[in-house]
């Protein structure tokens, strides 16, 4: 067997100025290299890699990959050994600036063995300074004087008895919480600590091969009553995306926009992030064509960010619906909501109908007998006559629709309103109904 021990300096892990993921998330990251991962006393992360190291190109290549993909913005200390106790002992010596002995584990200092730390003074009086010194003591007397744990630890270190570990596993759903370094007085102050939870979420999504669709950020209020009003124990905001994503930059922007519009009922002390909905992640699709690899945000990301900033009812999209009247063939709904089957059937937009219909038709000015909209209009297609007596209240309506071209506005959809009676002398009126994108 072959073990790798990893350690991040505790003084750096406790530094609130660094967006470090929680310790549990660092263990999830290590699961991509081997399924045998375990934390030891929250001090070191141990990986047993004998069955999978060749898949990474050997031990040296695996050690380089561990350093390259380190999810924490601080260097990771590494050591190796034939057993977990030997690897951990070597790591402890590296951490305090000492050079471990060669291949012989008998020369390892006694204070690097966890089972011996409670007996160091007594063992020192007996002249024991290394693992080999303790192993040379009579087995029966050693067990009676110090208990069986010390002798069993030495046997496990040298492979004379099997090691037992509670291996890390990935949870089915993501949920992490942490205590804020100081009480947060406003919602935007939560964003710094939320970055740590988002780092953990990114590791979990990659390990589970899932894409985030909906997340909830919840914070615990430090007060139960304020100004004579009972407060709830928690507040939260929910973020949803139109497509599954592993892009933490986009999720970070969405959370920041939502928090900027949120008012804390009281100072917050704890923060929790959990996944509400995730879907299988197929990976990002790419193309060899330059025009398909445009820089900048995707359209749905822009819509989600604007909806979070301005409100869902302020960012709308046009949806086609079945109706006899042209001005009612289109309704506007929040762009965040996916198209769902309504109670009434939805019609497919006709190729001749414009993609943008005005809420109210705009009456056009005339130059002689030609309508004008940002210049004189030139009729291209038409007429398409609509005639119905059930149009609405009042007299029956007759309309002739045309596709016309404006010198500045491009293609537009106009109609001529003809009087219902052929015995009137009133000139026909022209209206702008829609525009082509």
Q: Compute the CA torsion angle 301, 304, 305, 309 (nearest 10 deg).
A: 170
Residues 84-118 have pLDDT tens digits of: 999 999 999 988 888 888 777 888 999 999 889 88
For position 12, what pLDDT does the model report?
59
Q: Are 235 and 218 in contact (CB under 8 A)?
A: yes
Token duo for residue 65: 């990959």
Domain positions in the chain: 3-157, 175-303, 326-435
Backbone angles phi, psi at 151, to 5 degrees: -70, -40
- Please tell me the least confidently modeled range out of 52-61, 66-75, 420-429: 420-429
Higher pLDDT, 17 or 37: 37
Distance of alpha carbon 223 from alpha carbon 28, whole angstroms: 34
Q: Which CATH architecture has domain 175-303?
A: 2-Layer Sandwich (3.30)
Question: Average pLDDT of 46-58?
Answer: 91
- Is the link from the previous residue into 208 a cis peptide, with omega within 30 of 0? no
For residue 227, pLDDT over 70 is answered with: yes
For residue 425, pLDDT over 70 is answered with: no
Read off the pTM.
Answer: 0.66
Q: Are 168 and 27 in contact (CB under 8 A)?
A: yes
Question: Average pLDDT of 268-288?
Answer: 81
How high is the mean pLDDT of the chain? Answer: 81
In sequence order, the β-bridge partners of residue 179 are: 270
Distance of alpha carbon 198 from alpha carbon 19, whole angstroms: 9
For residue 428, pLDDT over 80 is answered with: no
Instruction: Of 13, 44, 45, 40, give the one whose Cα is nearest residue 29.
Output: 45
Which of the four pLDDT bands, split at 50, 70 and 90, describes residue 343?
A: very low
For residue 166, pLDDT over 80 is answered with: yes
Instruction: Of 92, 32, 100, 88, give the one whose Cα is nearest residue 65.
Output: 32
Backbone angles phi, psi at 242, to 5 degrees: -70, -30
């Amino acid at each position: 067997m072959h073990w790798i021990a990893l350690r991040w300096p505790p003084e750096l892990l406790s530094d609130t100025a660094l967006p470090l993921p929680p310790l549990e998330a660092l263990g999830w990251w290590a699961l991509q290299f081997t399924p045998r991962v375990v934390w030891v006393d929250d001090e070191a992360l141990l990986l047993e890699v004998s069955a999978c190291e060749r898949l990474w190109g050997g031990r040296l290549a695996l050690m380089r990959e561990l350093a390259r993909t380190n999810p924490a913005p601080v260097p990771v200390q590494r050591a190796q050994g034939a057993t977990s106790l030997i690897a951990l002992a070597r790591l402890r010596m590296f951490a305090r600036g000492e050079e471990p002995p060669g291949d012989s584990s008998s020369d390892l200092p006694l204070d690097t063995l966890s089972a011996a730390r409670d007996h160091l003074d007594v063992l020192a009086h007996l002249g024991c300074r290394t693992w080999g010194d303790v192993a040379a003591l009579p087995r029966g007397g050693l067990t009676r004087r110090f208990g069986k744990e010390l002798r069993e630890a030495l046997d496990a270190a040298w492979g004379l008895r099997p090691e037992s570990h509670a291996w890390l596993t990935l949870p089915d759903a993501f949920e992490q919480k942490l205590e804020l370094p100081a009480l947060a007085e406003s919602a935007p102050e939560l964003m710094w600590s939320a970055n740590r939870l988002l780092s953990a979420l990114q590791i979990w999504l990659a390990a589970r091969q899932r894409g985030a669709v909906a997340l909830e950020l919840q914070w615990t209020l430090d007060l139960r009553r304020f100004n004579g009003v009972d407060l709830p124990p928690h507040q939260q905001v929910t973020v949803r995306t139109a497509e599954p994503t592993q892009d933490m930059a986009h999720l970070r922007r969405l959370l920041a926009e939502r928090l900027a519009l949120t008012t804390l009922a009281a100072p917050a002390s704890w923060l929790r992030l959990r996944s509400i909905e995730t879907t299988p992640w197929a990976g990002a699709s790419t193309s060899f064509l330059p025009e398909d690899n445009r820089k900048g945000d995707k359209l749905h990301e822009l819509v989600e960010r604007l909806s979070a900033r301005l409100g869902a009812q302020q960012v709308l999209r046009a949806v086609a619906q079945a109706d006899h009247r042209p001005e009612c063939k289109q309704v506007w709904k929040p762009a965040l909501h996916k198209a769902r089957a309504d109670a009434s059937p939805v019609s497919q937009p006709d190729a001749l109908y414009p993609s943008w219909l005005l809420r109210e038709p705009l009456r056009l000015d005339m130059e002689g007998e030609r309508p004008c909209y940002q210049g004189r209009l030139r009729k291209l297609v038409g007429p398409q006559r609509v005639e119905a007596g059930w149009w609405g209240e009042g007299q029956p309506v007759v309309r002739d629709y045309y596709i016309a071209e404006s010198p500045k506005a491009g293609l537009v959809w106009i109609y001529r309103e003809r009087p219902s009676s052929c015995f009137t002398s009133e000139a026909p009126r022209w209206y702008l109904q829609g525009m082509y994108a």
